[in-house]
């Protein structure tokens, strides 16, 4: 049987580094939260051999310097963001979307306002203008806000990449979180649904997600198909209506200048 991508990356390390890395991932299998990280690493297929080996080498170096294992892994991942396959321009969806915590996006809007709005004031504006095509007096702050911090996770409609990807998803907060694999605290938070035009956002490069982009997020699952252009979400369990995995990509942090109105706030 051929070696997995993970096994190939391990083989590129020194014996000492290999033993350290394997030891941590083996120990994490007994941890309720970190066990999925170990499984994700073992199942990763989107990183090139060079980048996978570099990620593990960076992890081993941080472990050797005395960093706690979880901190060492996160730091190694952050130096290897956006290393998954870049989607060719001809195959990039023209419309993308994401669900985000309302409180988190209010902070982004407040930051973009350069002191004109506090996060609480931004939140009130977002609630007020949800569903509006003309958020008078607020649109400039809205479009200046970052779509995400550091990297942006997004979904799209692979059957109709020019359409709003949320048109084929449930309208409830719980249904959206289930379909997009948004577990943890965000599952119980008020959401904001953001949809934007890729070209109008400056056409930032879109990448297939990898374990480095996910860091320690336990609801991420690597796509088993090494040839896939993008990743797929893992719907949360229980999934009573059999919602299917949704396409997912990552891209560099960018503003909301390509945002399509109206945005929507969903609390139930």
The verdict on 56 and 163 lying in the same domain is no
163 shares its domain with 216: yes
Which contacts of 226-229 are long-range, i.e. CB under 8 A and separated by 24 or more positions? 226/5, 226/45, 226/46, 228/46, 229/85, 229/87, 229/88, 229/91
The proportion of the chain whose per-residue pLDDT surpasses 70, expressed as a percent, equals 100
At 2 the pLDDT is 82
* 19 phi/psi in degrees, rounded to 5: -65, -40
Q: Which of 186, 191, 182 is nearest to 236 (CA)?
A: 182
pLDDT, one tens digit per residue, over 132-144 is 999 999 999 999 9
**Residue 84 forms part of a structural domain:** no
First to last CA, the chain: 48
Q: What is the pLDDT of residues 167-184, one digit of tens each?
A: 999 999 999 999 999 999
Domain count, the chain: 2
Q: Average pLDDT for residues 49-60, to the nearest whole number?
A: 97
| 164 & 260 share domain | yes
pLDDT of res. 1: 72
The pLDDT value recorded for residue 5 is 95
Q: Tally the C-alpha atoms within 13 A of residue 183's C-alpha that lie toward its C-beta.
A: 15
């Amino acid at each position: 049987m051929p070696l997995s991508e993970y096994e190939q990356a391990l083989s590129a390390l020194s014996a000492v580094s290999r033993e350290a890395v394997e030891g941590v991932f083996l120990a994490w299998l007994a941890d309720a939260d970190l066990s999925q990280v170990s499984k994700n690493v073992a199942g990763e297929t989107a990183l090139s051999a060079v980048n996978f080996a570099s990620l593990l080498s960076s992890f081993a170096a941080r472990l050797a310097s005395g960093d706690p294992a979880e901190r060492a892994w996160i730091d190694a991942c952050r130096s290897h963001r956006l290393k998954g396959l870049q989607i060719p321009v001809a195959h990039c969806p023209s419309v993308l979307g994401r669900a985000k915590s309302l409180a988190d996006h209010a902070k982004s809007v407040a930051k973009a306002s350069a002191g004109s709005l506090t996060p609480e004031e931004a939140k009130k504006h977002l609630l007020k203008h949800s569903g509006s095509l003309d958020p008078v007096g607020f649109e400039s702050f809205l479009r200046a806000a970052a779509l995400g911090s550091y990297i942006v996770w997004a979904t799209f409609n692979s059957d109709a990449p020019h359409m709003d990807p949320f048109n084929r998803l449930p309208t409830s907060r719980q249904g959206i979180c289930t379909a997009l694999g948004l577990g943890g605290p965000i599952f119980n938070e008020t959401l904001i649904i953001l949809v934007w035009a890729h070209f109008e956002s400056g056409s930032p490069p879109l990448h297939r997600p990898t374990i480095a982009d996910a860091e320690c997020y336990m609801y991420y699952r690597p796509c088993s198909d090494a040839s896939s252009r993008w990743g797929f979400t893992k719907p949360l369990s229980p999934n009573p209506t059999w919602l299917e995995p949704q396409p997912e990509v990552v891209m560099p942090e960018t503003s909301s200048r390509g945002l399509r109105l109206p945005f929507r706030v969903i609390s139930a």
